């Protein structure tokens, strides 16, 4: 009987440990008020091309960088899918499979016989996956940009919308202004709590980020720089949310990983109040 009891205790410990490792940031309560914290990451991966190795693709370096943070949701930018420079396969799918996560790829442009765009990774199921084109002014030669979003269903049955985007990179902000205004309009029509993240290609003192701040709450105020990786000078990668009452930020951090990409990844621990 003592041996049987010991075995049962071991089985319970194993189940609890396994559950905690799969949902490391989840906190459940027996009451009707079930709260949860999510670790959200934004990462421009530079199509898995390390800056120090211009002709190399090192997708495992990206995987290891993400794995080290154990995020629940990841917004990725500069993703290749079956392109000549990066080789066969959708990078978002490859990364997701290595991490055991769900994924959604949002193609922005056709590129080198394949596609190029943004992506979402999630520990939790994704549905209502949408790619929305963002505007550019004709004649500016702006590269097409998108906002990819998906509904995320959490273990407690609640849902939120998560988005990944990458705004225009030209020096003039003409297209970025059009794009952030479009994102603001999309967000105003959203019925679920919303988190977006990405490479906004503009700094906190810009008109573009002012519009972002008028419509969302960023997870950082005095945001640390994210580019260039070896001597960071500019913060252009952000995580933001709305409505304010549904979220609160526990922690925001820029990860000092200088090999895998030309951007530093950003992570934020966000408490859900719904």
Q: Is the pTM of this model over 0.85?
A: yes
Regarding predicted confidence, which is higher, 119 or 26?
A: 119
Q: What was the pLDDT predicted at 34?
A: 54
Q: Chain-wide mean pLDDT for the chain?
A: 90
Band of residue 133 on the pLDDT scale cut at 50, 70, 90: very high
Q: Inform me whether the pLDDT recorded for 242 exceeds 60.
A: yes
Q: Inform me whether the pLDDT recorded for 32 exceeds 80.
A: no
∠ CA 134-161-63, nearest 5°, is 85
Regarding predicted confidence, which is higher, 14 or 40?
A: 40
Band of residue 104 on the pLDDT scale cut at 50, 70, 90: very high
What's the residue count for the chain?
A: 274
- Of the chain, the percentage scoring pLDDT greater than 70 comes to 87
Q: How far apart are CA 248 and CA 219, in angstroms?
A: 8
Q: Inform me whether the pLDDT recorded for 262 exceeds 60.
A: yes
3-class secondary structure, 217: strand
Q: Inform me whether the pLDDT recorded for 31 exceeds 90.
A: no
**In order of start, what are the domains of the chain with their CATH numbers?**
31-272 (3.60.10.10)
Q: What was the pLDDT predicted at 27?
A: 36
∠ CA 166-167-171, nearest 5°, is 135
What crossing angle do the helices spanning 207-215 and 174-188 adopt, rounded to 10°? 0
pLDDT digits (tens, 9 = 90+) for 145-169: 999 999 999 999 999 999 999 999 9
pLDDT digits (tens, 9 = 90+) for 67-84: 999 999 999 999 999 999
Q: Inform me whether the pLDDT recorded for 223 exceeds 50.
A: yes
CA–CA distances in Å: residue 267 to residues 10, 15, 188, 212:
35, 28, 25, 18
Mean pLDDT of 49-63: 97
């Amino acid at each position: 009987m003592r041996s049987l009891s010991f075995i049962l205790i071991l089985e319970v410990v194993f189940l609890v440990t396994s559950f905690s490792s799969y949902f490391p940031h989840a906190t459940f309560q027996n009451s009707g008020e079930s709260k949860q914290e999510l670790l959200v990451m934004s990462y421009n991966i530079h199509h898995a091309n390390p800056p120090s190795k211009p002709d190399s693709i090192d997708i495992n370096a990206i995987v290891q960088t993400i794995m080290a943070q154990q995020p629940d949701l990841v917004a990725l930018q500069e993703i290749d899918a079956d392109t000549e420079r990066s080789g066969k396969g959708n990078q978002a799918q490859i990364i997701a499979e290595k991490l055991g996560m769900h994924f959604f790829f949002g193609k922005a442009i056709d590129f080198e016989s394949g596609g190029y765009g943004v992506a979402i990774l999630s520990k939790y199921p994704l549905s209502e996956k949408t790619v929305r084109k963002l505007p550019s002014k004709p004649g500016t030669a702006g590269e097409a940009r998108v906002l990819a979003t998906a509904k995320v269903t959490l273990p407690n049955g609640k849902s939120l919308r998560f988005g990944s985007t990458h705004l225009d990179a030209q020096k003039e902000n003409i297209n970025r202004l059009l794009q952030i205004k479009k994102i603001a309009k999309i967000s105003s029509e959203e019925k679920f709590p919303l988190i977006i993240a990405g490479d906004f290609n503009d700094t906190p003192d810009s008109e573009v980020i002012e519009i972002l701040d008028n419509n969302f709450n960023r997870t950082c105020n005095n945001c640390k720089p994210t580019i260039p990786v070896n001597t960071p000078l500019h913060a252009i990668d952000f995580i933001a949310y709305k409505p304010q009452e549904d979220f609160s930020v526990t922690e925001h951090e820029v990860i000092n990983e200088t090999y895998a990409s030309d951007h530093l990844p950003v992570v934020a621990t966000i408490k859900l109040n719904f």
